[in-house]
Chains A and B, each alone.
Chain A
Amino acid sequence: MKLSKKTITNILAPLVTFLLLFGFWEWAVSHYQLPKWLLPAPSGIIQSMVVNFNDFWPHILITFETVLIGFLIAVPVGILLATLITSNKIISAALSPFVIFLVTTPLVTLIPIMMLFMGFGQKVRIIGVVIQAFSIVNMNTVTGILNVPIIRHELMQTMGSNKFQSLRHMIYPTAIVDIFTGVRLSAIFATTACISAEYVAGNHGLGSQIIKYSQFLKTTESFACIFYVTIIGLFMYGFVAFLQKKVIYWKI
């Protein structure tokens, strides 16, 4: 593969920024002699990520699993619900306010209550992720479907197309860009929601470890976990970007 100038710039520019930022951080920590429990140096954090990997790994797995499962449920649920909402005025009237309710309510406030009913297991955290992540997919899919040009509806109408045929051949492909905007956001929401859920209770997942280490002033380990969360978030984001390239094969 040949790398174009643009690609190289796109990779190089953020990398330089990243290195500058970490360089400054490293320098500041040693120059002002900040204690490790307050702000560890990046080199220390990265070292901890490697040295304590065996301690972190099970939690990385749990968090990743929760995020991924929640995300994979949230996306189809969001799209399906949006399809229902846009197909029928009554369903729309009945459901729309609740979707907005779910988007605007910070999920963390719901999780403790949900845990009263469902305990502290992974299941409740997955549900938390789904609730937080599906609504943004739903909202964007609704937007995408409502923005389908009338003339395309008319085209399908001239053939007497049924609802499923219209969705498959015309509506979803037209709305796909908006849908992916929602999916991309939901990948991020899923990660955030999972960590929030792990903060609240239990001792599984990176969220719980971040809390645990910071309680013992083991800030370096705490940061190491945060970096792993970032990596999961980046992976999810990249996964969606990859998917988008595969799915939207035509030029827009």
Chain B
Amino acid sequence: MEELVQKEVQTIPKIVFENINKVFHTRKQTIVAVKDYDMQVDQGDFVSIIGPSGCGKSTLIRMLNGIIQPTSGRMLLDGIPLDTSKPYSQETLRKMGFIFQQPNMLPWYTIRQNITLPLKIFGLDTPEYQEYADELISVTGLQKFADSYPIEASGGALQRAGVVRAMVHKPEILLMDEPFGALDEMLREQLNMELLSIWKRLNITIIFITHNVEEAVLLSNSIYVMATEPGRLVEKVDIDLPRPRSLEMITQPRFVSYTQRLVDLIGSVELRQIK
């Protein structure tokens, strides 16, 4: 009996989107950014959301993080519905780390001060957490930039710092909104591999937004493909490739067949959209 209960607890998904809708009303028009969206993400999962620009990818994780509120539907965290009628408590927010498309660093703080800002705001500014911050800084190779101001650091270093800032309070979930989209190919590949090793080490749950098909296949357990107008889910593609993943896999036939399938899916979505 006890075992049964245990099992039940373990199968509660980390994140659930239940029939989520988001409508934006602007002065000129009404935009259905997300329509009837459903998604379940397990603890320790790595899922990507992919789709053409404007299909509601950002809107989804921004709702989950409480930056904006859904028009209808439910989101559950660890099986508990999120109350979107008021700003989330810090207790809830602490479970998540949000990584923006831009580094979004504050120029008056050094990289280290930027990274440790969440500790100040969350009231976690203890030696333990500071030590953890230092560890993350060294794991990501940011030591030599730690005491520089953002303006003095490279784009790659800033984006790394953005990732570290979102992790410094030990969240259980990382929400990443096209985090490396602005970086060049080489750097992006490198950061993706770093991300995978961090993910494996921390057993953290990641929702990763991208419009790069290869990146999505390389990183994810499953990929949610979205279409636009209205923003909606068209298909969930599970990626059954062995881990650990490596960049060499990109040229392997199974990898290529996944990317081809996704490209076709997104292509047909975009074609329909043009018509």
Contacts and interface: CB of A to CB of B under 8 A. Distances in A.
B100 A151 contact: yes
Contact of B67 (A157, A170, A173, A249): A157
A154 B67 contact: yes
Interface string B51-83: 000000000001001110000000000000000
Contacts of A160: 87-90, 93-94, 121-122
A157 B117 CA distance: 12
**Main DSSP-derived SS at the A contact region:** helix
A155 B93 CA distance: 12
B118 interface: yes
Contacts of B102: 151
A87 to B, nearest CB: 15
Contact of B118 (A159, A173, A249): A159
A152 B87 contact: no
Interface in A178-204: none
Contacts of A157: 66-67, 87
Interface string A151-172: 1101111111100010001100
Interface in B187-205: none
A98 B93 CA distance: 40
Interface residues of B, number: 28
Nearest to A169: B117
Contacts of A161: 121
Nearest to B98: A158
B151 interface: yes
Most chain B CB atoms below 10 A, which of A151, A157, A252 = A157
Nearest to B122: A159
A251 interface: yes
A250 interface: yes
Most chain B CB atoms below 10 A, which of A154, A160, A252 = A160
A151 B106 CA distance: 11
A251 B151 contact: yes
Given A158-B93, A158-B96, A170 B106 contact: yes
Interface of B: 62, 65-67, 87-90, 93-94, 96-98, 100, 102, 104, 106-109, 117-118, 120-122, 149, 151, 166
Interface of A: 151-152, 154-161, 165, 169-170, 173, 249-252
Given A158-B67, A169-B120, A251-B151, 12 more contacts: A151-B102, A156-B121, A157-B66, A157-B67, A158-B98, A159-B121, A159-B122, A160-B90, A160-B121, A161-B121, A251-B107, A251-B149
16 contacts: A152-B106, A155-B100, A155-B106, A158-B65, A158-B98, A159-B93, A159-B117, A159-B122, A160-B90, A160-B94, A169-B109, A169-B121, A250-B107, A250-B108, A251-B149, A251-B151
7 cross-chain pairs, A with B, having the tightest CB-CB distances, nearest first:
A160-B90, A159-B121, A158-B98, A160-B93, A250-B108, A173-B108, A161-B121
